[in-house]
Amino acid sequence: MAKQIVYHGSYCEVENPEIKQGKYTKDFGVGFYCTILEEQAEKWAKKYETPVVNIYEYNENPNLNIKEFTIMTEEWLDFIIDCRSGKKHDYDIVIGAMADDQVYNYVTDLMMGQITREAFWELAKFRHPTHQIAFCTNRSLNCLKFLKAEELIK
């Protein structure tokens, strides 16, 4: 991958992305989250009073430590469980499917022993495809070039 357009849904223009520690654990840990799916970024943005989609050019840096999950696998699931449990990782960028609200509920049920792994995969396979890129280090943010921000109509 050379250059690619990525989107970030927010409540404001984010010309200079930062990695901020949030109050909730996320799929791929602490990071600045983007997606290649514009509709998904719009959905993220529409959770806010003033929805804004920020658009960036992503230039991959082969010197960074990048983990990519091309499909939802046991390794992907274990990685999300670890990150959502607060475990740290050493990747600059993590790319893969997103555990949306419903899949997150399945992950939580699995973590609490309320469903089996087999049940998780049976439930998760019917979910709409999602995508996320987590920029997890300040070095990784250098791969992003801000292009513009678009305020959405709710």
User: Where would I find the H helices in the chain?
Assistant: 38-45, 74-84, 101-111, 117-124, 138-141
Distances from the Cα of 110 to the Cαs of 77, 86, 104, 107, 120, in angstroms?
10, 16, 10, 5, 7
Domain coordinates of the chain in residue numbers? Answer: 3-151
Relative orientation angle of helices 117-124 and 101-111, to the nearest 10 degrees:
170
Q: What is the DSSP string of 51-64?
A: -EEEEEEEE--TTS
Amino acid at 40: Q
Mean pLDDT of the chain: 89
Model pLDDT, residue 63: 95
Neighbours of 27 (CB within 10 A): 24
Model pLDDT, residue 25: 73
Asked if 152 contacts 48 with a C-beta cutoff of 8 angstroms, the reply is: no
Q: What is the mean pLDDT of residues 90-113?
A: 85
Cα–Cα distance measured from residue 134 to residue 82, given in angstroms and rounded to the nearest whole number = 15
Q: What is the pLDDT of residues 35-71, one digit of tens each?
A: 999 998 999 899 999 999 999 999 999 999 999 998 8
